[in-house]
Amino acid sequence: MNQNTGRRLLTQQEIDSLVQNGCTAADWKQIQVTEPFYSGRIIKTHFSGKISLGLLSGVVRRTPGVEIPCGIYHASLHNCRVGFNTLIRNVSDIIANMDIEDHVVINDVRSITTHGTTTFGSGTGVAVVNENGGRAFPIYEGLSAQVAYLLSMYRHQPRLLNKLQEMIFEHVRRSQSDCGFIGTGANIQHCGVLKNVKIGPAAILEGVSRLENGTVVSCPEDPTRVGVNVIAKDFIFAEGSDISDAGMLTRCFAGQGVRLGKGFSAVDSVFFANSHFEQGEACSVFAGPFTVSHHKSTLLIAGLYSFYNAGSGTNQSNHMYKLGPVYQGIFERGCKTGSESYLLWPARIGAFTTVIGKHSKKMDLSDLPFSCLVQRHEKSQIFPGLNLTNIGLVRNEKKWLARDVRKAPDILDFVNPAILTPYTAQKMVAGIKLLSELMQKHPGSDSVLYSGIHIPAPGWAVELYQLALDKFYGQVLACRIQALFDSKQQHFATETPTDRFSSLKQYLRRKVDLGLSRWVDVAGLLTPADALSLLLEDIQASRLDSLDEIQTRFEALHTNYAEYEWAWVLNQLEAIQGKSLLEWSKADFKTILEKGARADEKLTVLVIEDAAKEFVFGSQIGYGIDGPAEAAADDFEKVCGTLQNNPTVKMLTESLEAKKAQLAEIVEKFFA
């Protein structure tokens, strides 16, 4: 509890006045107040234990035209410190062992109490991904998706885990107290039982049923909200999270910008940046950034997800009634599941894959990204690369950028929502190799078999992957050249064409030797495996002494993405060209750029063709309901627009034209 600096004991006259106001105290000498003290601001209140009261003046504005004087009315306080200009009224039971800061509103609550020494949810073990607890780790205030990923998924490095847990337990030790906390400007109204809770500044709690052993982290820039009929035990909610409408959570962490509500229930689960869950159920879930589930019949269980969208009735099962729920599943970034989809764990689904239907085979499809996994004739079929022609893929990348609602000064999770990256490119390279080997084993076949799953038209899949790779390589090179010209424009302007070309190659040389081989997705952060390894080595060698230092290193990995990306792309291009960058001719550069532009245009045409399917006559069923046949098309256009004015399609065509103009400018400046 904070020191009561500048506070004094009550005078006898003030005690008499309080008694006249219907107040009582176990011992009036245990109460300290601030000068000036307004006894008229305390009505029908009982005090016990040590009490410290700040200046009670000013008013609280409830609604326009309705003002309530700050003070304490119809309440019972035990061992509490109350800050300046606070309103406490209508406490039906008690507020006990609480440190209440300035400008707090507590109105119509049953009880807010702290019992014994508590850590307010920090240190609670959460059994994510594996229900048996094999991946359980302690949550704490300030947990990031990246640290959580290491704690849960790097069980093969026990020394790393021990070091991380030592830091966490020290952090937890410092957070323990026998006194709860309510931060400046918090607003708590119409709530039930709040037990062993720490509530951050500007937090809004309204209609909460019960909170026990937890922390509501909040800040004025991004207040956290906990709403009607929420029940939560052993939890931590980060800044800007919104937990509402009868959400029920046990042993859970909700990160920044997370929304959980409308009857959603979860146990042993963690939810990170901008995830949004409603109505369904989660058990032992690691929900990385932008994981979404909105449907009442959806159950996510024992899985790792990020940038994921669950369709209605999505379900997974994780045991065969032998050793219990030992299995787990992984949806790599960007996956979707259609209505009533089902997967039998264990399974690993490749990035940006759509799953439709029921699948009961154990499968690892991580080397087949951008696919459609479907059920046909009670068999599983996969169409690798097909989602590269899906208009929804383009829309998603823009959507994620627009839906990042985090406003806290310190961002916890480092999120890279890009689709074509070294991470997905390496998967496509592996996919081409896999499909080529399968076609060699089955020459002339229209379909091949992989792990018991049918792959129709594998040659088309190889072509799609190659188009995406060519597009990616060309775009990264073009953007790199453009950025260099913009930053070195004055230098290039003074050089002859020959010298300018030579200077360009010098500037394009890789500046880092990391990122040349394998990449990993650390719960939304894309980074080279060797760069991550350096961080892990520093943790194990105790060269990083705190969680804050680890967070800073993760931020550096995120910030350096562009350099790492260029190192990987350049390494791939040098292998394709069969010579180093400094040996490339102008024709080599033009070949890479023009090949990328052609691939981009081909994929864009395929994507627009996919979008056109949304505007064909069959899509107009139900439109123009009471008019003649021709009214359907007109009604459809009024509601859905046309292919030509669709925002995503317009963005695609405009982007393609802009890239064509950029390519022409680059060729003229450096390769003419």
Q: What is the pLDDT of residues 299-310, one digit of tens each?
A: 999 999 999 999
Give me the mean pLDDT over the 612-630 stretch.
Answer: 76
Give me the mean pLDDT over the 361-386 stretch.
Answer: 93
pLDDT band at 329 (very low <50, low <70, confident <90, very high): very high
pLDDT higher than threshold 70 for residue 631: yes
pLDDT higher than threshold 90 for residue 95: yes
Closest CA to 582 of 478, 468, 502: 502
Quickly list DSSP for 132-187. TTTT-EE--TT--HHHHHHHHH-TT-HHHHHHHHHHHHHHHHHH-BSSEEE-TT-E
Tens-digit pLDDT profile for residues 182-198: 999 999 999 999 999 99
pLDDT at 618: 67
Tens-digit pLDDT profile for residues 547-572: 999 999 999 999 999 999 999 999 99
pLDDT at 318: 76
pLDDT band at 627 (very low <50, low <70, confident <90, very high): confident
pLDDT at 174: 92
pLDDT at 192: 98
Collapsing DSSP states into helix, strand and coil, what is residue 405? coil
Residue 449 per-residue DSSP state: E
Compute φ and ψ for 631, nearest 5 degrees: -70, -25
Tens-digit pLDDT profile for residues 597-620: 999 999 999 988 888 887 776 677
Chain center to CA of 388: 24
Give me the mean pLDDT over the 450-454 stretch.
Answer: 88
Residues in the chain: 672
Tokens of 383: 């169409």
pLDDT band at 494 (very low <50, low <70, confident <90, very high): confident
Q: Show the CA angle centred on residue 215, arms to residues 210 and 218, nearest 5°.
A: 110
Chain center to CA of 495: 47
Is the separation of the CB atoms in 446 and 461 below 8 Å?
no
Note every long-range contact of 457-462, with CB atoms under 8 Å and residues 24 or more positions apart, other chains counting.
457/383, 458/384, 459/435, 460/385, 461/368, 461/383, 461/384, 461/385, 461/386, 461/431, 461/435, 462/385, 462/431, 462/432, 462/435, 462/436
Tens-digit pLDDT profile for residues 8-60: 999 999 999 999 999 999 999 999 999 999 999 999 999 999 999 999 998 98
pLDDT band at 3 (very low <50, low <70, confident <90, very high): very low
pLDDT at 296: 87
pLDDT at 2: 43
Tens-digit pLDDT profile for residues 104-146: 999 999 999 999 999 999 999 999 999 888 999 999 999 999 9
Tokens of 142: 């300030």
pLDDT at 10: 95
Max intra-chain CA distance, the chain: 101
Helices (H), 420-546: 422-441, 458-487, 489-493, 497-508, 529-540
Tokens of 595: 């090949």
Q: Mean pLDDT in the chain? A: 93
Tokens of 7: 């506070």
